[in-house]
Structure 1
Amino acid sequence: MIDLEKFPHPVYKETVLAPLFEGVKANHAADMDAINRAHLVMLNETGILNNGDAAQIAAALTAIEAETDRDALTYTGEHEDWFFLVESELRKRLGDLGGALHTARSRNDMDHTLFKMALRWRAEGMLSQLLALAGALIDTAQRESATPIVAYTHGQPAQPSTFGHYLSAIAEVVLRDAERLNAAIPALDLCPMGAAAITTTGFPISRERVADLLGFEAPLLNSYGCIASVDYITGLYSAMKLPFVHLGRVVQDMAFWSAFEVGQLAVPGSLVQISSIMPQKRNPVPIEHMRHLAAVTAGRCDVMVDTMRNTPFTDMNDSEGEVQQAGYAAFESGGRMLELLTAFLPACTINADRVRKNMDAACVTITELADTLVRDEGLTFRQAHEVAATTARAVIAAGTPLGGGYDAFCTGFAKETGRDTKLSLDDFTTTVAPETFIARRDRSGGPAPQALAEAISGYSGTLDQLHTAQSLRITRREAAQSDLTVAFSALQES
Structure 2
Amino acid sequence: MKNYTDTSSFPDPVYKETVLRPLFDGAKAHHVDGFRSIDRAHLVMLAETGILSGEQASAIGKALAAIDAEVDLSAFTYTGEVEDFFFLIEKQLKERLGPDLAGRLHTARSRNDIDHTLFKLGLKPRMEGLLERTRGLLAALIDTAEREKDTLIVAYTHGQPAQPTTFGHYLGAMIEVLIRDIEKLEAALAVVDLCPMGAAAITTSGFPIDRDRVAQLLGFSRPLENSYGCIASVDYITGVYGSMALMFLHLGRPIQDFQVWSSFEVGQLYVPNALVQISSIMPQKRNPVPIEHLRHLASQTYGRAKAMLDVMHNTPFTDMNDSEGESQAMGYQAFDVAYRVLDLLTALIAQVKIDPENVDRNTKRSCITITELADSLVRDEGLSFRQAHEIAAETAKAVVAAGTSLVEDGYAPFQVAFEAATGRPAQLAQDRFEELVSARYFVSVRNRPGGPGEKALTASLKGYRAKLDAFTAHAGERAEHLAQANAELNQKFNSLVGAA
TM-score (norm 1): 0.98
Which of 491, 495, 498 lines up with 1:486 in the alignment?
Answer: 491
**Per-residue CA shift, 1:82-104, capped at 9, x if unaligned?**
11111101110111211111111
**Could you tell me how far apart the structure 2 residues matched to 1:460 and 1:425 are?**
42
Report whether the alignment pairs 1:245 with 2:249.
yes
Partner of 1:376: 380
- 1:308-319 to structure 2, matched below 5 A, reads 308-319=312-323
**Could you tell me how far apart the structure 2 residues matched to 1:274 and 1:453 are?**
38
Partner of 1:444: 449
Question: Could you tell which deviates more after superposition, 465-474 or 240-249?
Answer: 465-474
Partner of 1:212: 216
Which of 14, 18, 21 lines up with 1:18 in the alignment?
Answer: 21
Which of 96, 100, 115 lines up with 1:93 in the alignment?
Answer: 96
**Could you tell me how far apart the structure 2 residues matched to 1:308 and 1:356 are?**
51
**Could you tell me how far apart the structure 2 residues matched to 1:251 and 1:449 are?**
25
Which of 431, 437, 455 lines up with 2:436 in the alignment?
Answer: 431
Partner of 1:188: 192
Partner of 2:236: 232
Which of 353, 362, 366 lines up with 2:357 in the alignment?
Answer: 353
Flag the 1:4–1:330 CA change in 2: closer, same or farther, 3 A: farther
Q: CA deviation at 1:71?
A: 3.8
**Could you tell me how far apart the structure 1 residues matched to 2:238 and 2:376 are?**
52
**Could you tell me how far apart the structure 2 residues matched to 1:4 and 1:311 are?**
34
Which of 422, 426, 435 lines up with 2:427 in the alignment?
Answer: 422
- Aligned partner of residue 287 in structure 2, secondary structure: coil
**Per-residue CA shift, 1:328-387, capped at 9, x if unaligned?**
111111111111111111210001100000000001111111111111111111111111
**Per-residue CA shift, 1:160-191, capped at 9, x if unaligned?**
00000000110000000001111111111111
Cα RMSD of the aligned pairs, angstroms, is 1.1
Structure 2: which amino acid aligns with 1:213?
L
Flag the 1:259–1:4 CA change in 2: closer, same or farther, 3 A: farther
Q: CA deviation at 1:4?
A: 6.8
Q: CA deviation at 1:278?
A: 1.1
Partner of 1:115: 119
**Could you tell me how far apart the structure 2 residues matched to 1:468 and 1:188 are?**
19
Which of 171, 179, 195 lines up with 1:167 in the alignment?
Answer: 171
Partner of 2:56: 53
Structure 1: which amino acid aligns with 2:71?
T
Structure 2: which amino acid aligns with 1:353?
E
- 1:15-414 to structure 2, matched below 5 A, reads 15-96=18-99, 97-403=101-407, 404-414=409-419
Q: CA deviation at 1:131?
A: 1.3
**Could you tell me how far apart the structure 2 residues matched to 1:399 and 1:230 are?**
61
**Per-residue CA shift, 1:53-94, capped at 9, x if unaligned?**
111111110110111123432111111111111110111011
- Aligned partner of residue 157 in structure 1, secondary structure: strand
**Could you tell me how far apart the structure 1 residues matched to 2:264 and 2:393 are?**
28
Structure 2: which amino acid aligns with 1:80?
E
**Could you tell me how far apart the structure 2 residues matched to 1:25 and 1:289 are?**
32
Between the two proteins, the alignment pairs up a number of residues equal to: 492
**Could you tell me how far apart the structure 2 residues matched to 1:92 and 1:332 are?**
38
Question: Could you tell which deviates more after superposition, 309-318 or 464-473?
Answer: 464-473
**Could you tell me how far apart the structure 2 residues matched to 1:284 and 1:8 are?**
53
**Could you tell me how far apart the structure 2 residues matched to 1:341 and 1:142 are?**
17
Q: CA deviation at 1:111?
A: 0.3
Q: CA deviation at 1:207?
A: 0.9
Which consecutive segments of 4 or more residues in structure 1 shift more than 3 A?
none
**Per-residue CA shift, 1:372-414, capped at 9, x if unaligned?**
1111111111111111111111111111111121111111111
Partner of 1:6: 9
**Could you tell me how far apart the structure 2 residues matched to 1:72 and 1:48 are?**
34
**Could you tell me how far apart the structure 1 residues matched to 2:186 and 2:475 are?**
8
Structure 1: which amino acid aligns with 2:330?
A
Partner of 1:457: 462
**Could you tell me how far apart the structure 2 residues matched to 1:431 and 1:230 are?**
57
- Aligned partner of residue 335 in structure 2, secondary structure: helix
Structure 2: which amino acid aligns with 1:470?
A
- Aligned partner of residue 158 in structure 1, secondary structure: strand
**Could you tell me how far apart the structure 1 residues matched to 2:7 and 2:443 are?**
77
**Per-residue CA shift, 1:281-315, capped at 9, x if unaligned?**
11111111111111111111111112111111111
Q: Work out whether residues 32 and 74 of structure 2, in 8 Å CA contact, stay in contact via their aligned partners in 1.
A: no
**Per-residue CA shift, 1:101-141, capped at 9, x if unaligned?**
11111111000000011111111111111111111101100
- Aligned partner of residue 80 in structure 1, secondary structure: coil
Q: CA deviation at 1:229?
A: 0.8
Q: CA deviation at 1:469?
A: 2.0
Question: Could you tell which deviates more after superposition, 151-160 or 465-474?
Answer: 465-474
**Could you tell me how far apart the structure 1 residues matched to 2:331 and 2:165 are?**
40
Structure 1: which amino acid aligns with 2:95?
K
**Could you tell me how far apart the structure 2 residues matched to 1:294 and 1:279 are?**
29
**Per-residue CA shift, 1:417-442, capped at 9, x if unaligned?**
11111111111111111110010111
- Aligned partner of residue 450 in structure 2, secondary structure: coil
Q: CA deviation at 1:470?
A: 2.2
**Could you tell me how far apart the structure 1 residues matched to 2:250 and 2:364 are?**
31
Partner of 2:3: none
User: Tell me, which stretches of 5 or more residues in structure 1 are unaligned?
Assistant: none
- Aligned partner of residue 150 in structure 1, secondary structure: strand
**Could you tell me how far apart the structure 2 residues matched to 1:420 and 1:315 are?**
80
